[in-house]
Structures are given as structure tokens and as C-alpha cells.
Amino acid sequence: MSDQLGLDLPLWQPHIVCGVDEAGRGPLFGDVVAAAVILDPQRPIPGLGDSKKLSEKTRDRLFDEIWQQATAVAVGRASVQEIDQLNILHASMLAMQRAVEGLSVPPEMALIDGNRCPSLNCPAQAIVKGDAKEICIGAASIIAKVTRDREMKQWHQRYPYYGLDQHKGYPTKQHLLALKEHGVSEQHRRSFGPVAAILEVDQ
């Protein structure tokens, strides 16, 4: 950027940057969960990256370290009812917005995993595969995924016949067979094709 005199002016660099990611767009069951993380540069956390490429044991360890060492962490979500009302894309944006708004420290910039940004009170940049490119997004992906995976294990206690502790609500063969046998719960996304098809048959 230059002024009218042709002098080079320094570009503004945000000091407080949060990474944002979500977990649970694809499943047939449960909320979509988002996380926002502001890392502390004075307290680096080795091993951060795309949560899907890490083992469950590593994710669990990093999950605890992020909560303990990051400057700020927040989780946001959109309910099954909101997913069915808004569609999964808009519900994911809403969950991300809630996560950023929940941070105890207001960010100056938000880096969003994906190709579009939610409506925020700060500048935002979408980064495709950002969880593998920006460690703050990688941290957010770990918080979101571990939070949601643990919730699926809790839901498994209530609905053991769906196998939620194994597939986390995704449309696996096991899940689809269980849906046909046991029907649709109140936590299933009725706007999703496989669930809607079973409801149609049951009418």
C-alpha cells in the first residue's frame, strides 16, 4: 500500500488473531460445533495441525494443552433444530459466529477454515484447508472435534443402539441400518436425506 506521494506505508498487522473451525457438518445426528482459539505466542504448543490427521490420544492431549495455554478459547454451536431450519451451511456459520463472540479477548482478525466467513465484528479471512496451514485454525479444529466427539460418546449412553461412540453420527452403514431398525431420535437431522427418507417410509 502506498500514499499519494508514492511512499511505502507499512501494512497493518493484527496482533490478536483467532483461528476458527467447526466439526459436524456431515453427520446425521447432533449439533454442529465450532471453536475459536487465540494462541499465546509466548506459550507455543508443539504438534498443532489438522485434527483429522491426529490420533485420538494426541487430540485429547492437545485439547487439554490448548485450554490451559491459549490466550482465549470458546466453543459455539448450532442445534439440530437450527440446522433443519437454516440448512447446515448457515448453521455452521452461526456456530462459528457464536464461538468468536464467546472469546474472553476480542480478536482483531479471524482466520476461518473453509471458503467463506461468518458475519463477525472483526475482519475475517477464509482459508481453504486452513487447519493444516494456520496453527490457530488447527487448534480450533482440535477443540471443535474433541468437544463434539465426547458429546457423541455421551449421547451413546442414551442411544446405545445407534453406535454413536463409533461413527460419531456420520452416515455409516451401521448407522443407517440402526436408523431403519430403531427409527429416528429427536437429535437426528430431519432435513438430511437419509433421515428424511426413513421418516417418509414411516409415515
Q: What is the pLDDT of residue 77?
A: 98
Residue 128 and residue 115: Cα distance in Å, rounded? 6
What are the tens digits of pLDDT across the range 50-64? 778 899 999 999 999
Provide the domain count of the chain: 1
Percent of the chain with pLDDT over 70: 93
| Three-point CA angle 19, 24, 30, nearest 5° | 130
Q: What's the pLDDT band for 1 if we cut at 50, 70, 90?
A: very low
**In which residue are the cell numbers 451413546 written?**
156
Residue 181 to residues 27, 185, 198: CA-CA distances in angstroms?
A: 18, 12, 10
181, part of any domain: yes
Note down the domain range covering 191.
17-202
42, part of any domain: yes
What are the tens digits of pLDDT across the range 103-124? 999 999 999 999 999 999 999 9
CATH number, domain at 176?
A: 3.30.420.10
Q: What's the pLDDT band for 11 if we cut at 50, 70, 90?
A: low
9, part of any domain: no
131, part of any domain: yes
Q: What is the pLDDT of residue 202?
A: 64
